[in-house]
Structure 1
Amino acid sequence: MYFRKQPVLLSATVNGSIARLVSITAGAAYLSPLAAIAVGFTGGVFYLLAVNLLDRLQLDDVDRQSLFRVRYWLGSRQIALWSIS
């Protein structure tokens, strides 16, 4: 949000942190620490982009709950890319 010259909101910061945690939940036992950071980072970026898209489409907050479901699904798919054997 800082690149759009808007103030950073506490609620956006907390929701972004939760999105990062949701994204690494599925693969926590199978990810190295560096891979967990990468998956969490992509989760935060995806959350930021998706929220901005939903704001532009003027969708309600109830629809934002599906973001966490999609982020969990995408995070579980990243296990194949980042998992340790």
Structure 2
Amino acid sequence: MISTSDLREKEIINIIDGRRLGFISDIEVNLEKGRIEALIVPGPGKILGIFGKDNDYVITWREIKKIGVDVILVELKNEIITNEVEEEKN
């Protein structure tokens, strides 16, 4: 069994492009079912999960492929659309 504090110490890596996404800042839990629904990782540009862009990575349990000793491998096919990208489109 793994605790939420153990999960927070593991780095998240996307297996699609090998990118390091960072560390978990929050965890969404379904209290009725007693299981984790998603992991939240601060998006690009955030410092300590506080300052920066409002776009976080929301990684659902289905997207988690492997929980290792030091890392969590995820498969994120959909990129975050940052405010900069949205502004370029306008």
TM-score by length of 2: 0.32
Greater RCO, CA 8 A, separation 6+: 1
Q: Which has the higher strand share?
A: 2
TM-score by length of 1: 0.33
